[in-house]
Amino acid sequence: MSRYWSDIVSKLQPYVAGEQPRIPGLVKLNTNENPYGPSPRALEAIGQATDDRLRLYPDPSATELRETIAARHALTADEVFVGNGSDEVLAHVFQALLKHDLPLLYPDVTYSFYPTYSLLYGIEAIEIPVDDRFQIRLADYDRPCGAIIIPNPNAPTGIGLPLADIEALVATHPDAVVVIDEAYVDFGGESAIPLISRYPNLLVIQTLSKSRSFAGLRVGFALGQRELIEALVRVKDSFNSYPLDRLAQVAATAAIQDEAWFETCRKKLIASRDHLVTELEALDFEVLPSQANFIFARHESRSGAALLAALRERDILVRLFAKPRIADFLRISIGTDEECAGLVAALKAILAA
């Protein structure tokens, strides 16, 4: 007997999330979390909402949160879609917007959830090679396609594209949905949000997980013209009409309003990143130019696997990816200055041994 679930088990290659060990004292530089924690105003909002009202379902439309996000970006609430982390937003995007008779294009070195979603939703995908410096060459996307998805900055390289290039891509593909995944844009990238009013085929996705330190609360959002957003809402309402719980909604609203905390934390992380790059280059690492809250670096003589294992022995976690072309690169999330200094000291000791 053929069982359809056997097919899923044999064919679906799920995304493998970064390690989340429950061992105290580890320095976690492996999953791009923000070391500074959410805005104190967000924590206060959670405290104030933690009472008997939790027996009630949350607002299924997350109206206040959507209005707050819209106001920050000079959009209207019906141009904002929210979900449980940008992973869930992306899942809805794949289901609602990307089923075409033409293929989906994305870079071959990129966020590894895209191939997973393509497989899950039966979407033909073509991986467009990045060049020998890991740069996305937009001319290579000049081919028939139903949709394009580009992270800006890209992950796990951290390399950003200028806004003018994104605009050229959106303008030259008027019949394709162009999704720009801006999970890391707040660390020095250029957002495509100002283009939304002019391009009905553009969808921008952001997350609160990184620059707002909300990974544990799971809040992401998509911005685009009304019709694209309405398609996402239809899919959401056919799947789980309450995607964000009450606490996530009030906390995210407060976090978006706390511009001062956001600015302080992201500036600290940018400064720490730039300092870490200098330190690693002095230790003979090749570090790709990063506009994210992580760096992607390989050593001129040591393998990625050896360095990862040696760091792990010193209670420091970083991340490696299986793809052969990038197998020697360590992806290192930017921690506090103390954590970064600990990493550099550990690498010095490892390289001297």
| Residue 85 or 188 with smaller CB distance to ligand PMP | 85
Q: Which residue is nearest to ligand PMP (CB)?
A: 85
| Residue 293 or 299 with smaller CB distance to ligand PMP | 293
Least separation, in Å, of the C-beta of 146 and ligand PMP? Answer: 20
Least separation, in Å, of the C-beta of 16 and ligand PMP? Answer: 11
| Residue 172 or 239 with smaller CB distance to ligand PMP | 239
Q: Among 250, 257, 211, 209, which residue's Cα sits nearest to residue 44? A: 250
| Residue 203 or 346 with smaller CB distance to ligand PMP | 203
Least separation, in Å, of the C-beta of 175 and ligand PMP? Answer: 25
Least separation, in Å, of the C-beta of 153 and ligand PMP? Answer: 9
| Residue 291 or 350 with smaller CB distance to ligand PMP | 291
Least separation, in Å, of the C-beta of 168 and ligand PMP? Answer: 21
Least separation, in Å, of the C-beta of 348 and ligand PMP? Answer: 29
| Residue 112 or 336 with smaller CB distance to ligand PMP | 112
Query: Which residues in this chain contact ligand PMP in the complex, by CB under 6 A?
Result: 85-87, 111, 151, 155, 181, 183, 207, 209, 215, 220
